[in-house]
Chain A
Amino acid sequence: MVLNRDFVGRTYAPSAPYEVSRVKIKEFAAAIGDNNPLYRDVEAARAAGHPDVVAPPTFPIVFCLPSDALLDPELGLNYAMVVHGEQRFEYQRPIVAGDALVSTSTVTTIRTAGTNELITIRIDVTDADGKLVCTAYNTIIERGGAA
């Protein structure tokens, strides 16, 4: 379906805080096959200047998707036709175990490309002090949405 353009600029309520745990970082690192000690060994992470073990660069996908906008029936998204188009993470500082992270989603663009509909959502991830930690940009393609 053609996506509802009224959604552009819409910002959703902040999420409940997501508590980043050492166990989840270790599980995620194992799932991507990555043996970097800074994902598992607190002493190694501290020796590298971090307060605790560090999360892999793509870790925020665990807690920031799917955003509320994509789940809103009024958007008109046919989820069966969805593929991931683009993804980006921009960091102000690394995510570490012990962080309590709040995600706030904003629909930035909706556009047509050929027969597809594309929606981009920006997710601002802030810590317990309200400081920006990471900005995620998520572009979803609805195949045939504009056909």
Chain B
Amino acid sequence: MTATATINYDDVEVGHEIPAADYPVRRINLVMYAGASGDFNPIHWNERFAKTVGLPDVIAHGMFTMAQGGRFITDWVGDPGAVVDYGVRFSSMVVVPDDDKGTLIQVSGTVEKKLEHRRVLVALTVRSGGTRVLSRAQAVVQLA
């Protein structure tokens, strides 16, 4: 891996908490994500359709939520190329109302393990509307 992390492995201990961040999500973000990713499933932009298939409202793409967790890690480490492994389980929906506020995706993270080759395992907690929306969200990050 070629990557220039701004965090030094020697400065990080197990249990280190990465400062939590809130990422707002509005309908416009889902429309942009649909276009960029190619996932045009109407449950992510059409309230009428979402309700006919039993959803409370439009929901965010799971991959959009995963991307916010990824952003949390890359904001911490600086270089996106330092993310060696990143996996999540989608445990609940992020419901996005049609107003100017939308909702928040709230991310926090803890260094769970120090690994070989100056890498660390980071566990993420990702919530929206008081519910955990990702579970088993973790990343292996190459530190300097």
Contact residues of A with B, CB < 8 Å? 24, 27-28, 30-34, 36, 38-39, 48-50, 54-58, 61-62, 65, 80, 83-94, 137
Cα–Cα distance between A50 and B80 once the two chains are bound (Å): 11
B4 adjacent to chain A (CB < 8 Å): yes
A58 proximity list for chain B (CB < 8 A): 63, 66-67, 70, 86
Minimum distance in angstroms from B139 CB to a CB of chain A: 8
Cα–Cα distance between A34 and B63 once the two chains are bound (Å): 14
Residue pairs across A and B with CB atoms within 8 Å: the count is 117
B18 adjacent to chain A (CB < 8 Å): no
Contact residues of B with A, CB < 8 Å? 1-4, 23, 29, 32-33, 35-39, 53, 62-64, 66-68, 70-71, 73-75, 79-81, 83-90, 136, 139
B86 proximity list for chain A (CB < 8 A): 57-58, 88-89
Q: Given A61-B63, A87-B62, A48–B4 Cβ distance below 8 Å?
A: yes
- Find out whether the CB atom of B35 lies under 8 angstroms from the CB atom of A31: yes
